[in-house]
């Protein structure tokens, strides 16, 4: 298992961006130099966990629970076949394009060591947005991506470090529940009745997902 490429984005104008300045960093390119990765701070003020990577809409992207986004090369290859077009590493706006790692099936709270220092923890799947659809230029992309459910994974930084393209990935912790990034994605999008089940993942969940799951359960529970 390894990181094929570490991908960074620069602020670029886009008519599909929801950022107030009309910029997006979704168009990411592989870096040919080492990249420092650290906790960027809370969502709303913290951006990407990767130094030099642009996050332009801090309302919806970036922050501690979405510090890093990973997507499997194998899933990009499957999309290439479906779409009939090449998808280079970074095409989905992912920071890490991996090989040999079942990213969408990774469990919430699963930890990966990348290189010698960095440790990341899976927090959630990725919900597609208008900017993502506009970036790819595929009609009906949000619905299609949601239906497929190959969501990739957002991760938080447990131990900061410097990484580079080609670094090995070691799974150093696998929780004993069965809540995957893909299941979390389904629960927060098309199958909200699954939200209470996510609580098995505990505090490892993305903070917003944890709050939503608790609120859903409270509404379903009879008053005492």
- Which pLDDT tens digits describe the chain residue by residue (224 residues)? 999 999 999 988 877 777 767 888 889 999 999 999 999 999 988 999 999 999 988 888 899 999 999 999 999 999 999 999 999 999 999 999 999 999 999 999 999 999 999 999 999 999 998 889 989 999 999 999 999 999 999 999 999 999 999 999 999 999 999 999 999 999 999 999 999 999 999 999 999 999 999 999 998 876 54
pTM of the model: 0.94
What are 28-50's pLDDT values in tens digits?
999 999 999 999 999 988 999 99
Torsion sign over Cα 181, 162, 115, 89: positive
Closest listed residue to residue 75, CA positions, set 59, 61, 92: 92
Instruction: Please tell me the distance from the alpha carbon of residue 29 to that of residue 50, in angstroms, as a whole number.
Output: 13
Angle between the N-to-C axes of helices 181-188 and 207-220, in degrees from 0 to 180, rounded to the nearest 10: 50
Our CA dihedral for 220, 212, 150, 65, rounded to 10 degrees, sits at -160
Instruction: Please tell me the distance from the alpha carbon of residue 109 to that of residue 202, in angstroms, as a whole number.
Output: 9
Instruction: Please tell me the distance from the alpha carbon of residue 182 to that of residue 178, in angstroms, as a whole number.
Output: 11
Maximal CA-CA distance, the chain: 59
Tokens read off for 195 = 């939200």
């Amino acid at each position: 298992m390894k990181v094929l490429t570490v991908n960074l984005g620069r602020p670029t104008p886009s008519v599909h961006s929801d950022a107030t300045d009309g910029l997006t960093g979704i168009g990411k390119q592989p870096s040919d130099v080492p990249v420092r990765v650290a906790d960027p701070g809370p969502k709303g003020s913290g951006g990407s966990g990767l130094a030099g990577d642009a996050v332009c809409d801090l309302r919806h992207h970036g922050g501690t629970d979405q510090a890093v986004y990973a997507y499997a090369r194998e899933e990009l290859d499957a999309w290439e076949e479906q779409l009939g077009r090449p998808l280079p590493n970074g095409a989905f706006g992912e920071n890490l394009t991996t090989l040999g790692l079942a990213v969408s099936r990774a469990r919430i709270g699963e930890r990966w060591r990348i290189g010698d220092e960095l440790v990341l923890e899976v927090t959630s799947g990725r919900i597609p947005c208008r900017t993502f659809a506009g970036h790819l230029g595929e009609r009906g992309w949000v619905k299609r991506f949601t239906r497929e459910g190959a969501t990739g994974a957002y991760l938080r930084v447990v131990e900061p470090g410097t990484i580079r393209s080609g670094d090995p990935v070691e799974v150093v912790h696998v929780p004993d529940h069965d809540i995957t990034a893909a299941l979390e994605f389904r629960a927060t999008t098309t199958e909200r009745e699954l939200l209470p089940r996510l609580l098995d993942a505990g505090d490892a969940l993305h903070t917003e997902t944890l709050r939503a799951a608790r609120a859903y359960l409270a509404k379903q529970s009879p008053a005492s």
